[in-house]
Amino acid sequence: MHPIFSENRRLFGYLSVWLVIGCLAAALLVVGDYCPWASALLFSLPVFLLYGFVALSAYYVCRSLPLKERRLPQLALTFGATSLASGALLTEAAAAWMSTIAVIATPWSQFEFTHHLQAAIFGIGVVLYLLSIFGHDVLIAFENLRKAERRESELQMLAREAELQMLRTQVNPHFLFNSLNSISALTSIDAAAARDMTIALAQFFRQTLAMANFEKIPLSSELALCESFLTVEKIRFGKKLDAKIVADTDLQRSLIPPLVLQPLLENAIKHGIRNIAEGGIIEVNVTQRDAWLHIVVENPVEPDAPQASGNGMGLQNIRRRCVNLYNERARVTWKQTDNNRFTVELTIPFEMGT
């Protein structure tokens, strides 16, 4: 069914436009000295109101020729034929109505339905139908646009959900198997340490699973995850690895996307600390400035080491996630300074959780 019938307000609006058109037609009759106002209105209003319903058929005509598949000859033929037919219909209807009112209505000032008048009504009918086609085209295009927009936002939501799902199952296999190998080695060297490492590893995965369900989590949860992660990594890398995390107690409840800080630490170890013979310290600073939360991760890198080429992927991912989540109101930057330090800075809107 035509979408206009789905809403009364729309239908009334549309019909009042046709009443105005009817009035204009009556005015033409008065100006043309065919008859006085009362008779002109009695004649034109019902005819044009009826034609308003006829013009709605343009919706189906437009729909039968989707915008993308239109070719000129076919277009001219369809639109031309339907408008001409509608114009003829209008003329016939006008003639029939005129003979009807001549019988039923008094007072009625009879006037002649000249060829001249017939041609004028026919022409008006064709033009109005073409306008209706045009209007429907615009309406359909607008509707399609809205549908596409809705579909896009749905897709975006799905993508975000898929991303969270992926995070939840995102286990770095290299980290897992190496940790298990370390535990295997520890069992005969230091059984208690092996147990501690097993527990830290389990805790790390449990925390990952728990927080990946949320779009945002309190900073304290992410920091707890980082602690478990560092506990495991410190056993693997021994004295080489140390970390200093500084975050105000007031900021513990501030909200951040899950799993953004932990991958930064992983990065710092993989591309920084691990390559340095004597190891190094990862420094994390979380601060609030005005409406923004800043997270800075800094680590030393091997001076001689080539700038890791694979480095970008993980960081790019974090940047994309933050930018998407905060609608462009987030910034993730990284740089390697001359004194062989690598810094990642993450800036997101400051939000306090409950």
Interface contacts to another protein, rule CB under 8 A: 173-174, 176-178, 180-186, 188-189, 235-238, 274-275, 277, 302, 304-307, 309
Q: How far is the CB of 236 from another protein (least distance, A)?
A: 6
Of 134 and 177, which CB lies nearer to another protein in the complex structure? 177
Looking from the CA of 59 toward its CB, the CA atoms found within 13 Å total 13
Q: How far is the CB of 170 from another protein (least distance, A)?
A: 14
CB of 188 to another protein, least distance (A): 6
**CB–CB of 25/42 below 8 Å?**
no
Q: Where are the alpha helices (DSSP H) in the chain?
A: 8-31, 37-55, 58-64, 72-104, 115-169, 173-189, 191-211, 219-237, 261-271, 312-325
Nearer to another protein, 227 or 302 (CB): 302
The Cα 151–Cα 159 span in angstroms is 12
In the chain, what is the greatest distance between 2 CA atoms, to the nearest angstrom?
116
Q: Which is nearer to another protein, 217 or 235 (by Cβ)?
A: 235
Q: Which residue has the tokens 């979408």?
A: 3
CB of 306 to another protein, least distance (A): 4
Strands 341-349 and 292-300: antiparallel
Pick between residue 101 and residue 308 the one whose CB is nearest to another protein: 308
330: left (phi over 0), alpha (psi -120 to 50) or beta: beta
Neighbouring C-beta atoms of residue 70, cutoff 10 Å = 12
Nearer to another protein, 236 or 294 (CB): 236
Calpha distance 298→320 (Å, rounded): 20
Min separation Cβ 307 and another protein, Å:
8
End-to-end CA distance of the chain: 49
Instruction: Report, in Å, the least distance between residue 169 CB and another protein.
Output: 16
Cα–Cα distance for residue pair 274/201, rounded to 1 Å: 20
Q: Give me the least distance between CB of 175 and another protein, in Å please.
A: 8
Which residue lies nearer to another protein by CB, 111 or 237?
A: 237
Instruction: Please say which residue, 73 or 306, places its beta carbon nearer to another protein.
Output: 306
Shortest reach from residue 231's CB to another protein, in Å: 14
Q: Which is nearer to another protein, 2 or 270 (CB)?
A: 270
Alpha-carbon span 101 to 34, nearest angstrom: 16
